[in-house]
C-alpha cells in the first residue's frame, strides 16, 4: 500500500495534489466537527502516544531532519498566509494556550516552566555570538512593535502584571538567590554601560530624566509622600552603613567658615578684568598678547601668594 500511495503521489500533478489535500481537509473537518469530547480526548491521546513513541525511537539525524521539515512547512505556510489568516491563526493559538494554562495544575505548570527553562538554557548555551545578537535584536524589535501598538489600558495592565510577578518572585527568593540576582543585574548593567558610546550614554541619561520627570509630574500627593519616605529610608540606611563600617577612624579637625570668601568690593576690579579677558575686550600688544598687571603676577610661591595662611579664616 505504501508503494502504491508513493507512486500515486509522485505521479500526480499540482492540481491533483491540491484537490487531494482539500478533500482530506474537508473530511478531517467533518470528522472533527461531529466527534464528541470523549472521542476528541481519545484521539489526541493516541496522537500524543504515537508521537512520543516515534520521537523516542528516532535517531539524532532523523530528529534534525524532522525539525527541519517542520520549520520549512511552517515558514512556507506563514509566508503564504494573508493578514486575516495570520490574525485568525494567532487568535486560535492564544485561545488554545489560555485554555491549556487555565486547566493545568500547579505541578503541570511547574513542570512546563522547568522544561521551558531547560530548553532555553540549552539553546542559549549552544548558540554563537552572531545567533545571540540576532536573537536579542529580534526580541527588541518584537517588544518595540508590541509596546508601540498597545493602548494606555494595555500598557498599565502589562506593567501591573510585571510588578506583581516581580513582587512574588522577590518575596519567594532566598537571601542567596537575591544576592545572585542583584549581582547579575550589576554585571549586565556594567557591561552595557561600558560598551555604549557617548551618544548612547547621552540618550540613555536623557530618557531616564524624561521618565523621572513624567513620573514626578503625574504622581499624586500619596505617591509624593511615599517617594519622600523611601528617600528618607535610603538615606537612613546609608548613614547607618557608614557609621557601622569597620574602617579605621582618624582624628580630623573640623573648621567653621567665619568670613565670606566671595568677591568683595576691593576684588570687583579684578573680576571685571577677568570678564574682559574672557570676552576678548582687552587690547593686544605688538606680539598679539595680553599684558598682565604686575599685581597679579606671582613673584614667589604661587599657592602661598594666592591662598596665604587660609587657616586664619576658620576656627
Question: HEC string of 146-210?
Answer: HHHHCCHHHHHHHHHHHHHHHHHHHHHCCHHHHHHHHHHHHHHHHHHHHHCCHHHHHHHHHHHHH
Q: Which set of grid coordinates corresponds to residue 304? A: 602661598
Mean pLDDT, the chain cut into blocks of 10 residues (315 residues total): 85 87 88 87 88 88 88 88 88 88 88 89 88 89 88 88 87 88 88 88 88 81 85 84 67 65 66 82 83 77 70 52
Cα dihedral 103→105→106→109 (10° resolution): -60
DSSP state letter for 295: G
Best CA proximity match to 216, nearest among 226, 202, 206: 226
Give the pLDDT of residue 295. Answer: 75
Instruction: Report the alpha-carbon distance of residue 250 to residue 252 in Å, rounded.
Output: 6
Give the pLDDT of residue 212. Answer: 83
The residue extents of the domains of the chain are 133-186, 196-244, 268-313
Question: What pTM value is reported for the model?
Answer: 0.34
Give the pLDDT of residue 148. Answer: 87
Amino acid at each position: 500500500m505504501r508503494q502504491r500511495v508513493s507512486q500515486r503521489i509522485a505521479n500526480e500533478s499540482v492540481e491533483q495534489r491540491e484537490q487531494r489535500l482539500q478533500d482530506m481537509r474537508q473530511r478531517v473537518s467533518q470528522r472533527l466537527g461531529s466527534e464528541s469530547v470523549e472521542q476528541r480526548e481519545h484521539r489526541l491521546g493516541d496522537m500524543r502516544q504515537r508521537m512520543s513513541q516515534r520521537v523516542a525511537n528516532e535517531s539524532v539525524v532523523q530528529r534534525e531532519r524532522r525539525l527541519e521539515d517542520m520549520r520549512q512547512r511552517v515558514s512556507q505556510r506563514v509566508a503564504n498566509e494573508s493578514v486575516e489568516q495570520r490574525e485568525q491563526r494567532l487568535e486560535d493559538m492564544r485561545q488554545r494556550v489560555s485554555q491549556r494554562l487555565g486547566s493545568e495544575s500547579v505541578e503541570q505548570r511547574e513542570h512546563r516552566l522547568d522544561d521551558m527553562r531547560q530548553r532555553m538554557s540549552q539553546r542559549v548555551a549552544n548558540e554563537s555570538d552572531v545567533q545571540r545578537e540576532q536573537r536579542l535584536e529580534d526580541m527588541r524589535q518584537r517588544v518595540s512593535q508590541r509596546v508601540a501598538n498597545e493602548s494606555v489600558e494595555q500598557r498599565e495592565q502589562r506593567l501591573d502584571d510585571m510588578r506583581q510577578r516581580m513582587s512574588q518572585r522577590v518575596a519567594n527568593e532566598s537571601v542567596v538567590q537575591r544576592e545572585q540576582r542583584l549581582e547579575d543585574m550589576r554585571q549586565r548593567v556594567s557591561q552595557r554601560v561600558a560598551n555604549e558610546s557617548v551618544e548612547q550614554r547621552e540618550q540613555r541619561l536623557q530618557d531616564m530624566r524624561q521618565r523621572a520627570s513624567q513620573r514626578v509630574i503625574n504622581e499624586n500627593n500619596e505617591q509624593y509622600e511615599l517617594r519622600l519616605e523611601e528617600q528618607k529610608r535610603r538615606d537612613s540606611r546609608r548613614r547607618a552603613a557608614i557609621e557601622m563600617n569597620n574602617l579605621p577612624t582618624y582624628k580630623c579637625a573640623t573648621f567653621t567658615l567665619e568670613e565670606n570668601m566671595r568677591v568683595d568690593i576691593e576684588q570687583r576690579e579684578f573680576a571685571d578684568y577677568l570678564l574682559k579677558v574672557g570676552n576678548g575686550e582687552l587690547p593686544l600688544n605688538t606680539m598679539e598678547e595680553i599684558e598682565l598687571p604686575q599685581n597679579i603676577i606671582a613673584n614667589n610661591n604661587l599657592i602661598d601668594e594666592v591662598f596665604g595662611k587660609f587657616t586664619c579664616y576658620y576656627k
